[in-house]
Amino acid sequence: MEKFPLKGTGNISSSNNLSISSAATNHPLSGDHPSYQSVGSKPGKGSPASGAERHITTTTTTSLTTAPGTVGAVPVYEADEDGMIDITPGNGGLTNPNYSYSSYSANGGRQDGVGAPSSAANSSAPNITTTAGASSNGGASIGGGEGPGGMSSPTHTRFGRDFHHSDHEGISFAGMTDTSDDIPGIGQYEDFHTIDWQRDIARDRMRHRYIVKKRQDSFWDLLKGAHDAWSGWVCVLLVGLFTGCVAGVIDIGASWMTDLKFGICPQAFWLNREQCCWSSNETSFDSGNCSQWYAWSEIFTSSREGFGAYVISYFFYIMWAMLFALLAASLVRMFAPYACGSGIPEIKTILSGFIIRSYLGKWTLIIKSVGIMLSVSAGLSLGKEGPMVHIASCIGNILSYLFPKYGRNEAKKREILSAAAAAGVSVAFGAPIGGVLFSLEEVSYYFPLKTLWRSFFCALIAAFILRSINPFGNEHSVLFYVEYNKPWIFFELVPFIGLGIIGGIIATLFIKANLWWCRFRKYSKLGQYPVTEVLIVTFITAVIAYPNPYTRMNTSELIYLLFSQCGISNQDPLCDYNRNFTDVNSAIEIAAAGPGVYKAVWLLILALAMKLIMTIFTFGMKVPCGLFIPSLALGAITGRIVGIAMEQLAYNYPKIWIFSGECSTGDDCITPGLYAMVGAAAVLGGVTRMTVSLVVIMFELTGGVRYIVPLMAAAMASKWVGDALGRQGIYDAHIALNGYPFLDSKDEFQHTTLAADVMQPKRNETLAVITQDSMTVDDIETLLKETEHNGYPVVVSKENQYLVGFVLRRDLNLALANARRIIDGITGQSLVIFTSAQPVQNLGPSPLKLKKILDMAPITVTDQTPMETVVDMFRKLGLRQTLVTHNGRLLGVITKKDVLRHVKQMDNEDPNTVLFN
C-alpha cells in the first residue's frame, strides 16, 4: 500500500497509514463521544500568534514520538498547509483498539504520544491553537469549551463544519441559521439531477441535534423543538385533509360532466342524473332515466325513441366528448405540460431521489385536477386513479414547504410524498390499507417505519374526509361494493389461475403495443401535434363506443355491473336467465342462459377488443390519464365471460366430480361476478406487476374479504406470466422510455465487472479535480466552463492526488458568485482554499475560503470493488456519485448515470437511452 504523506509522523507503522477519506468516514467513534479532540490546525507560517492564542484549551496535551522513547513536538494527525487532519485521541491514556501503540518503557506513555505525562509534553511540545475557522463569514471557531472531565467535545462533521453547543452562532446548517443567509441556495439541487440521500439525511441529523441541544436554553426554544417533533404528523394530517377534499370535488365534477353527454336536469342543471332522479316521486325508472331527467333528444324532438332521437343523442355524445377532450388537452398544453399522463412513473422516479422542478407544483395540481375530470367525462379509455396519486403528491409537495424541515430537505420531503401517494390511492379506491401497501410496494424507494405509520395516518384521514363528502351518494365508501351469497368451490382455483394466465397475456400485449406506440409518438411528427392527436382519438373512441351499451356507459359503472350478482332487480341482458322468481327471499337457482346473455357476451367481446385497442392509443397522450380503471375493465369483461361459461357448464353437468356435488342441489353455485373480480385483479396485476397491494386493494374495493385466496392465486399467476413474457411493468417501462435515472431495487446485477471498468474518466484520461489550496478563482471558473460535471473531487495537489473531499458544482457556482458580490478584495487571482489552515502571507489579493461547502466524507470505493457491490450501494444508500481510489489516490468518479448506462450495456440495451443524471 502506498504511504500517505502525513506531516511530522516520522516512522509510524504501516497500520497507522490512514488516508483522508478513511480517517473521515471510518472513524470508530460517534460524534457524541467525549474522548476526541477537535480537528485542529497548526498556525500558518508567518501568522501572528500570541501566547494566549497558542495555548491548547484541552486539559490533555498530546505529543508524538519520532522514535521510541523520544518525545516529538508535533501531534499525530495535524492540519497544516497541506490540510492534514488532527484526530488525536484525548482519552487520558485509555485504550482505543483502532490505534496500535506500544507502551513507553520509562513512563508508561504510548508510542503514539497519547497519554504521555503532561510534564514531558509541556517541556518539549509547543502549544497549538485549535481554531478551525471554516471561512471569514460563517465558519465556526472552536477554541474553548471543554467537554466533561476536561476533555474537548467532538467537532468534526461530514461537511467540514465544527459543531459545539456553546458556539451555535457560527454553525451553518442547511435549512436554518446562516447557511441560507450567507449563500442562498446552498444544498439545493438543479433540475433533472439526483439528490444525495446520505448528505441530506446527515444534514437533517445535524439540524435535529442542534434543536435538541437548544431546547434547554429557553421556553421558546422548547416550543420550537416540540413543533419540529410534531411537524411531520401535522403535515400528513393536512395532506390527508386536502387530498380528501380534492378527490371529492373531482368525483362529483366527473360524475356530473359524464352525465352531461346524455342529458340534463332542467330544474337544477348542476345535478347529475342520479341526483336529479332522487327528487322524483316515481318508484322505478328505466336505466336511471326519470321524468325529471331530460335526454338531449327529448329537449329537441320530445322523444326518447326512434331514429331521429338516436341520431341527436349520438351527435351530442360526440360533441360533448370532443369539447371536454379539447379543453383538457388545451389546458395541459398552455398551463401545465407536466399534468399529462398517469404521473406514477415520474412519482416513482422522484421518490427514488430525482428532481423534476414544477412536476409537483401548484399549476400542475390545478390543471391535473380539472383535466382529469374533463378526460374521464370525454369517455376516453382511461381512469382517474393513477392521476389521483400525482394530485396527492402535488398537495404533499406544496404543503411540505410550510415546514422547513421537509420543504428545504429533499430526502425528508420524500417521506411526505410517500404518505401522499398512499392517500392518493386511498381516495381513488376507498382503500386506505391498499394505499399504504401500494406506496410501499410500487412507488416508494425509501420507506422507513416512521413513514409507514404516517402513510397509514394520512390515508386514513383522506378516506375519512372522502367518506364524509360521500360523492357516490351511497352508504358504502368503496367503489364497487359486492355481496355474493355463495363461497367459492375448491376446483374453481383452476379457472381462477387460468384467468391469471389470460390476464398476464393481455397485460403483456398491452404493454408491448403501448410502448411501441409511445415510442412512435415520441420520435415522429405526431408528437408535435398533441391536441390534434387527442381530438382524433376522442372522436374515434366516441364513434365506436356509443352503439355498444357496455362501452357507452361510464367505465366504473361497467365494472360495477360486471362485478354484480344477478338478482330480481337487475334488468340487464347479462341477467337474462330462464328463472322463475316466486319468492324474493328464496335462494337463486341455477338456470340456463337466455338469449339476452348470449347477446351480452358478444357485446362484451366487442367491448373487450375496443377497450384494449383504444387504451393502447390513449395511455400516454397529453391529457391526464390513468390505467387502473381500464385495466380493471379489461379483466372484468374477460372474467365475466369465463364465469358465464363456467356457470353454464355447472348447469348442464351438475353431477360431475369437479363441482363436488355442490351444484346438484339446484342452487346457483357459480358466481360470474366473482370471476369478473378475479379477472380484473389478474389484468391489473399483469400491467402493474403488483401483488400484495393489488389483492388488498381488490378486497377493499369490493368488500369481498372471503375471496382473498382466489385473488392471490390470480395475481401470482398473472405476475409470473407477465415476468416470463416481458421483464417490466407498464410504469417501469415508461421510466425506461423517458430515460429517467431509476435503479430498481427488485432487479439483480448479474455481471462480474469492477468499479474501474465503469468509472469516469477511463484509464489514461485526465480527471477534472480541484486542488485544496493552489487554484485561483479564475482557474475554478475556467474549470466550470470547460466541464459539465455535477461536482468535483478536491485533492491535495495535482502531483499528490490524495482525496480531501468533494464539492458540488452548484454550491461552487453559488459560493463564487456570493463572494464576488459580498466580500471585498476577491478578484480572479484570489486563491480558493478548502482547508482551515492560514495561507502564507503574500502581497496578492485576499484568499477565498470555501471549506464550509466541502463534503469531507464522500463515499469512496477502490478500483477493484465489484460492480455488484457498487450497484447495491447506489440502491440502498441512495448515492448520487461515489469516488474511486487506488491506495488512497483518486482515480475517478462513478455517477448514477454511469451505473445505469453500464447496466443497460451489460443487458445488451442502448446505454444512450439514459437521458438525465
Rounded Cα distance between 84 and 23, Å, is 10
Whether the predicted pLDDT of 258 surpasses 60: yes
Q: For 618-660, how does the pLDDT look when each residue is reduced to its tens digit (9 = 90+)? A: 998 999 999 999 999 999 999 999 999 988 888 887 777 777 6
Residue 350 gets which letter from DSSP?
H
pLDDT value at position 667?
64
pLDDT value at position 489?
81
pLDDT value at position 609?
94
For cell 469516469, the residue is: 760
Where would I find the H helices in 487-594?
493-523, 530-545, 549-552, 555-563
Rounded Cα distance between 141 and 171, Å, is 9
692-702 and 672-688 helices cross at what angle (nearest 10)? 140
Beta strands 889-895 and 791-795 are unpaired
Rounded Cα distance between 101 and 111, Å, is 5
> 682 pLDDT band (50/70/90 cuts)?
very high
Q: For 56-73, how does the pLDDT look when each residue is reduced to its tens digit (9 = 90+)? A: 333 333 333 334 443 333
For cell 404518505, the residue is: 419
- The answer to whether 686 and 634 have CB atoms below 8 angstroms apart is no
Whether the predicted pLDDT of 586 surpasses 80: no
Higher pLDDT, 125 or 576: 576
> 588 pLDDT band (50/70/90 cuts)?
low
pLDDT value at position 475?
58
Please give the average per-residue pLDDT across 232-246, as a whole number. 94
Higher pLDDT, 87 or 216: 216
pLDDT value at position 369?
94
Rounded Cα distance between 389 and 429, Å, is 11
Element (H, E) at 609: helix 595-618
> 126 pLDDT band (50/70/90 cuts)?
very low
Rounded Cα distance between 109 and 93, Å, is 8
pLDDT value at position 700?
83
- Exposure string for 41-52, b = 16+ CB within 10 A, e = fewer: bbbbeeeebeee
Rounded Cα distance between 236 and 421, Å, is 11
| C-alpha separations of 253 from 257, 272, 430 in Å | 6, 9, 18
Among the listed residues 438, 428, 382, 318, the one whose alpha carbon sits nearest the alpha carbon of residue 620? 382
Strand, coil or helix: 346: helix
Lowest mean pLDDT among 113-117, 329-333, 657-661: 113-117
Three cell numbers written together for 559: 365494472
Whether the predicted pLDDT of 270 surpasses 90: no
Beta strands 176-177 and 172-173 are antiparallel
Whether the predicted pLDDT of 179 surpasses 50: no
Residue 795 gets which letter from DSSP?
E
Please give the average per-residue pLDDT across 725-752, as a whole number. 86
Neighbours of 724 (CB within 10 A): 10
Among the listed residues 684, 670, 599, 596, the one whose alpha carbon sits nearest the alpha carbon of residue 638? 684
Three cell numbers written together for 127: 502549544
Strand, coil or helix: 157: coil
> 476 pLDDT band (50/70/90 cuts)?
low
> 321 pLDDT band (50/70/90 cuts)?
very high
> 839 pLDDT band (50/70/90 cuts)?
low
> 701 pLDDT band (50/70/90 cuts)?
confident
Whether the predicted pLDDT of 910 surpasses 70: yes
Higher pLDDT, 484 or 804: 804
Residue 173 gets which letter from DSSP?
E
Higher pLDDT, 174 or 597: 597
Tell me, rounded to whole angstroms, the distance of Cα 616 from its chain centroid. Answer: 26
> 852 pLDDT band (50/70/90 cuts)?
confident
Higher pLDDT, 859 or 97: 859
Higher pLDDT, 365 or 773: 365
Rounded Cα distance between 513 and 188, Å, is 39
Phi, psi at 860, each rounded to 5°: -125, 150
Lowest mean pLDDT among 153-167, 374-388, 481-495: 153-167
Q: For 291-319, how does the pLDDT look when each residue is reduced to its tens digit (9 = 90+)? A: 778 888 888 877 777 788 888 999 999 99
pLDDT value at position 229?
87
pLDDT value at position 648?
86
| C-alpha separations of 644 from 212, 573, 637, 676, 847 in Å | 65, 13, 11, 10, 83
The verdict on pTM exceeding 0.85 is no
Query: What average pLDDT does the structure give for the chain?
Result: 77
Strand, coil or helix: 807: strand
> 149 pLDDT band (50/70/90 cuts)?
very low
pLDDT value at position 581?
56
Q: For 883-908, how does the pLDDT look when each residue is reduced to its tens digit (9 = 90+)? A: 999 888 898 999 988 898 898 888 88
Please give the average per-residue pLDDT across 129-150, as a whole number. 37
Please give the average per-residue pLDDT across 534-559, as a whole number. 91
pLDDT value at position 668?
66
Whether the predicted pLDDT of 261 surpasses 60: yes
Percent of the chain's residues with pLDDT above 90: 32
Lowest mean pLDDT among 531-545, 560-574, 687-701, 830-844: 830-844
- The answer to whether 150 and 60 have CB atoms below 8 angstroms apart is yes
Please give the average per-residue pLDDT across 780-795, as a whole number. 89
Whether the predicted pLDDT of 380 surpasses 60: yes
- The answer to whether 375 and 625 have CB atoms below 8 angstroms apart is yes
Lowest mean pLDDT among 172-181, 490-499, 659-668: 172-181
pLDDT value at position 279?
62
Strand, coil or helix: 103: strand
Three cell numbers written together for 459: 390515508
Among the listed residues 342, 358, 421, 229, the one whose alpha carbon sits nearest the alpha carbon of residue 729? 342
Percent of the chain's residues with pLDDT above 70: 74
Whether the predicted pLDDT of 187 surpasses 60: yes
pLDDT value at position 541?
93
Q: For 416-451, how does the pLDDT look when each residue is reduced to its tens digit (9 = 90+)? A: 999 999 999 999 888 899 999 999 988 888 888 888
Rounded Cα distance between 675 and 672, Å, is 5
> 454 pLDDT band (50/70/90 cuts)?
very high
Where would I find the H helices in 658-776?
672-688, 692-702, 708-725, 730-738, 755-758
pLDDT value at position 294?
83
Three cell numbers written together for 261: 353527454
Among the listed residues 138, 83, 137, 133, the one whose alpha carbon sits nearest the alpha carbon of residue 773? 83
Query: What is the set of domains in the chain, with CATH numbers?
Result: 234-260+336-469 (1.10.3080.10), 490-581+588-738 (1.10.3080.10), 755-907 (3.10.580.20)
For cell 431546547, the residue is: 215
pLDDT value at position 660?
65
Rounded Cα distance between 668 and 645, Å, is 14
> 12 pLDDT band (50/70/90 cuts)?
very low
pLDDT value at position 526?
87
pLDDT value at position 772?
86
Residue 770 gets which letter from DSSP?
E
> 324 pLDDT band (50/70/90 cuts)?
very high
Among the listed residues 352, 346, 458, 451, the one whose alpha carbon sits nearest the alpha carbon of residue 399? 458
**Cβ neighbours of residue 284 under 8 Å, at least 6 residues apart?**
none
